[in-house]
Amino acid sequence: MQIFSRHMRMLTTGAAMSLALLAAAPAFAVTPADTLVEGFAIDDIITMDPGEAFELSTAEVTSNTYDLLVRLDLNDTSKIVGDLADSWTVSDDGLTYTFKLKQGLKFASGNPITADDVAFSFERAVKLDKSPAFILTQFGLSGDNVTEKAKAADEGTFVFTVDKPYAPSFVLNCLTATVASVVDKKLVLEHVAAVTPSDEYKYDNDFGNAWLKTGYAGSGAFKMREWRANEVVVLERNDNYHGTKAPLTRVIYRHMKESSGQRLALEAGDIDIARNLEPGDLEAISKNADLATTAAPKGTVYYISLNQKNENLAKPEVVEAFKYLVDYDAIGSTLIKGIGDIHQTFLPKGVLGELDENPYKFDVAKAKELLAKAGLADGFTVTMDVRNTQPVTGIAESFQQTLGQAGVKLEIIPGDGKQTLTKYRARTHDMYIGQWGQDYFDPNSNSETFTINPDNSDEGKNKTLAWRNAWDVPKELSDESKAALLEKDSAKRADMYKSLQKAVLEKGPFVIIFQQTEVAGYSAKLKDFKLGPSFDTNYVGPISK
């Protein structure tokens, strides 16, 4: 052993030195006083261009870094308030919207904000025709007419012309969507890339799309400094912001996927806010005196859908039976405790026309009766595609067990989110459990997807949720949904959506289970941190430490 003693001594000394080095560092990490660090699953971000982005995390970043003409009133989501727009009027025929801009506005770059920038923002979104462009093009805008239909009358006046006399609340709600964010025309034009026109894309430049994927040309409370996919988003205060200046100089979103990891980091002081907590971690955090929690209902509903291509699932009695086979109470008190509320209609709470009715209860006897009526008294076997993530996995397992009590054998096919979605969009599933968030804050968003399916063939162009589940929606339902868009009287419009929800609740092949409550755990030192009513209203501007 003597031969080794010298070497072992060296090794031990080395190890001791390493330990000393570790011990020398501060035991608990603390984020800097002027910086907010959020742990957030941001792996859905694929672009930062507001004309292209359509993901939940991007929407949050965009709404903090870009301004819109109008925004949702956070105190009353049925109202709209001006952002860059000071005031607006709607013409008597309901076709022309005229916006007067606030004066002396500036982009983060220092360039002045004019109606020309607003017109350019609309033009580029429509001409690029990326995922969220339909929110604007549904008003009759196209690449050929956009410069005429969305134009600057003078430096401070923007005029927007729609093709039908839609309900003004619908038009204005759509303009609060991130696709209508106002970009800095001068700055974007400095970064356009040349494109060879083709049949699919008729323009000779990319309207700065390649640059804006990771670049920034806005005027929001914060500027976007950097986005690294699946790693980090860094925002910095915009000193040219027209509203109240943010107290913090920097906001960092760190990509963290797991609830437990976020909890650990929050407890250790490595992050200030944990955004994706599951019930267990949320409960632990609420018991910690240094930490606090907050919650807000979000416009996302979780549902199980039954593909009508499956002949068993296409029987109306089976559809109804399945609605009785979900143990809503058990799910509500355990799996989604604190992160959701039982909700069986397609419009989430807080949206115009929302119907707060949960008529279905877990009832095996009733379900068995219905199954017998459908000629399936002995039950049958069916599969369900389930994304490997909570709470859907837990709900799927609970459903598997309760279906079993009525003799229906449910086989769960687990998969990655993109995998299950690929199958769902190709209509090759039997059943699917998923979430649906509104594309924009207006009842039409969900109404359209749950009640409109003009072409139920595999080639159908309008791939709504009704189409994905091969539900040949009764014509009167679709017609009512379309008519609600043109109803100018808000109260009447709300009633129309209520009746639509009743119909889907009764007949639709969707077992809607709950509405998501967004939760966050945060350091008790934070001030003025609030979650907004929609995914793009979680503002970081007011927060201080």
Partner 1 sequence: MSIPETSQLAGRKRARAKGWASTIARFLVVMVTTYLGLLAVTFFIGRVIPIDPVLAVLGDRAPAHVVERVREEMGLNRPLYVQFFYYIRDALTGNFGTSVLTTNPVMADIRRVFPATIELATVGTLIGSLVGVPLGVLAAVKRGSIADQVVRVVGLIGYSVPIFWLALLALLFFYAKLQWIAFPGRIDIVYEYSFTPVTGFYLLDSLWQGQWDVFVDVFRHIILPAGLLGYFSLAYISRMTRSFMLNELSQEYIVAARAKGLSETRIIWGHALRNAAVPLVTVIALSYAGLLEGSVLIETVFSWPGLGLYITNSLQNADMNAVLGGTIIIGSVFIAINILSDLLYRTLDPRTRVR
Residues in contact with partner 1 by CB under 8 A are: 1, 3-4, 7-8, 11, 18, 21-25, 27-29, 31-32, 35, 37, 43-44, 46-47, 53-55, 129-131, 133-134, 200, 210, 213-214, 228-231, 234, 252, 254-256, 261, 264-265, 267-268, 270, 415-416, 418-419, 421-423, 425-426, 439, 460-463
Q: Select 159 or 465, whichever has its Cβ closest to partner 1.
A: 465
Q: Select 8 or 524, whichever has its Cβ closest to partner 1.
A: 8
Token code pair at residue 480: 């009512």
* Closest listed residue to residue 409, CA positions, set 329, 325, 469, 468: 325
Dist CA 541 CA 146 (whole Å): 33
The maximal CA–CA distance of the chain, rounded, in angstroms, is 100
Token code pair at residue 148: 């005429």
Q: Select 210 or 372, whichever has its Cβ closest to partner 1.
A: 210
- Give min distance, CB of 416 to partner 1, in A: 6
Token code pair at residue 455: 């072409």
Q: Select 463 or 530, whichever has its Cβ closest to partner 1.
A: 463
- Give min distance, CB of 87 to partner 1, in A: 33
What residue type is 436 in one-letter code?
W
- Give min distance, CB of 139 to partner 1, in A: 15
Question: Can you tell me whether residue 244 is helix, strand or coil?
Answer: coil
- Give min distance, CB of 435 to partner 1, in A: 10
The burial class, CB within 10 Å (0-12 / 13-18 / 19+), for 397 is middle
CB 66 within 8 A of CB 182: yes
Q: Select 37 or 540, whichever has its Cβ closest to partner 1.
A: 37
**In degrees rounded to 5, what are phi and psi of residue 187?**
-65, -40
Token code pair at residue 232: 């980090």
Those residues with Cβ within 8 angstroms of residue 211's Cβ, 6 or more apart along the chain or in another chain: 188, 191, 192, 193
- Give min distance, CB of 155 to partner 1, in A: 34
- Give min distance, CB of 7 to partner 1, in A: 5
Q: Select 129 or 480, whichever has its Cβ closest to partner 1.
A: 129
Q: Select 55 or 184, whichever has its Cβ closest to partner 1.
A: 55
Beta strands in 68-125 (DSSP E): 70-72, 80-82, 85-90, 96-101
- Give min distance, CB of 58 to partner 1, in A: 9
CB 367 within 8 A of CB 304: no
* Closest listed residue to residue 167, CA positions, set 436, 462, 438, 497: 497
Q: Select 311 or 459, whichever has its Cβ closest to partner 1.
A: 459
Q: Select 46 or 372, whichever has its Cβ closest to partner 1.
A: 46
- Give min distance, CB of 521 to partner 1, in A: 15
Count CA atoms within 13 Å of residue 438 on its CB side: 28
Q: How many helices (H) does the chain have, and how many strands (E)?
A: 19, 17
- Give min distance, CB of 264 to partner 1, in A: 5
Token code pair at residue 61: 């970043």
Dist CA 232 CA 224 (whole Å): 11
